[in-house]
Chain A
């Protein structure tokens, strides 16, 4: 308990220290607003113009969560298909790696071409960015199930579906949740990329417009919003992960329910 407290205090001190140093450096070296605004100024901008920023933040969050949801759905589906058979795993993996290596910015114009500018390309970009880590992790979790565990089930004449539901998926859960933490941040990246390229709403669009107006404090306010949203979602999924897959860490908290 004491260890956790110390670690938390350490992280908080580091975060505060980082912003304090930033503030101090801007003042000490006389860095101009247009290059790097002071944190205090960013926060003031954020609060002053919150009514204008807020709809954009909501739009970005909305597109991200829908993309993320679709990513989970298709990611788990594809991951289960690939992971539950050795043949599928070996066959599909090269194609999957191929898709994953394409820089996702490059596909945004295609989505715009197909669906027009707006929310749809943002959702789709978020989805394809977050789908890969989910597929790979779920497939790996399933494919690495210990044969002994499967033998236990097969001796009971369990069907493949029984084995998947009772052994495969629970075993893949830690992998799945680990991937969600990566996937949610990737989904944000996807949304913002699409918004900067082709949208008239969202934080990505806000940042593009602000930077073309040399409104640098607003650019940073947008970044701050993104960081806060990203961290918040990361924390939520870490919490769910700890509740669901505590058995991997063998914590007594999990054992106590």
Chain B
């Protein structure tokens, strides 16, 4: 697991490429007629391949909307969303997604839950029947072991804690080697210690596989710990108002989050978000 030069950020790793994910003047509105809400307003965003970007901002700023747009779960009202240089849906880019809720299927044990993408996503699905008993199984076990779930693959979701389920959820998001990993507040429902532990797990997974990651989070420490780049968003209408590299060397540790440089970064982010939040609205 020593692929990445420890003291380098991703932008130094690789030559400047065509951005892997690109949002061009994307506007997205929810609702109809007079009751529309502009979740995202003329937003531009470029993410290079293998980068780790965090989106932070007040609630309702369109963070999750960006994720859904990139994944293709929704399509933009106007503007273009390009992944790997093409319109979304034109080229099958493998995407992994993990949500705040681990969303494990309760009728499958952990192994089969994690194996689910291999059953669905080409090119794995073509060989699913032939390989599920040996090759895919070994692969799932190896990944589960990497996140500290060795020996749990026969357990059913209800037999595991929230932290364990979230680890499994990360495995399911990564088992089919996605080029793009979308994380929608994946650690939001966990307690502080479990969360910090999973930051480490997530960092290791990223360092060993280098997918392009977009992380949506409310936790500024989490964003600064995990991401190479942090985009701060404002709400109503949703826009990116700040975009900065995170300079800390990898692998990062929880202890680093208490160092002055780290604290001043999160503090600066916090001030930006407070300033961007809709003023305390008083009911008319």
Residues of A near any B CB (own CB < 8 A): 146, 148-149, 151-158, 162, 166-167, 170-171, 173, 245, 247-248, 250, 254-255
Contacts and interface: CB of A to CB of B under 8 A. Distances in A.
A167 B99 contact: no
Interface of B: 71-73, 92, 95-97, 99, 101, 103, 105-107, 109, 116-117, 119-121, 154-156, 158-159, 172, 176, 182
B99 A158 contact: no
Nearest to A162: B120
A148 B101 CA distance: 8
Determine the main DSSP class of A at the interface with B: helix
B72 A157 contact: yes
Contacts, number: 61
B88 to A, nearest CB: 11
A170 B104 CA distance: 13
Contacts of A156: 95, 97, 116-117, 120-121, 176
A43 to B, nearest CB: 44
Nearest to B96: A155
A212 B109 CA distance: 59
Contacts of A151: 73, 97, 99, 103
B156 A247 contact: yes
B97 A250 contact: no
B73 A255 contact: no
A157 B99 CA distance: 16
Given A154-B73, A155-B73, A255-B156, A173 B95 contact: no
19 contacts: A149-B103, A151-B73, A151-B97, A151-B103, A152-B97, A152-B103, A155-B73, A156-B97, A157-B92, A166-B119, A170-B107, A171-B107, A245-B107, A247-B107, A247-B156, A247-B158, A248-B106, A255-B109, A255-B156
Contacts of A255: 109, 154-156, 159
Contacts of B116: 152, 156, 166
Contact of A148 (B99, B106, B154): B99
A165 to B, nearest CB: 10
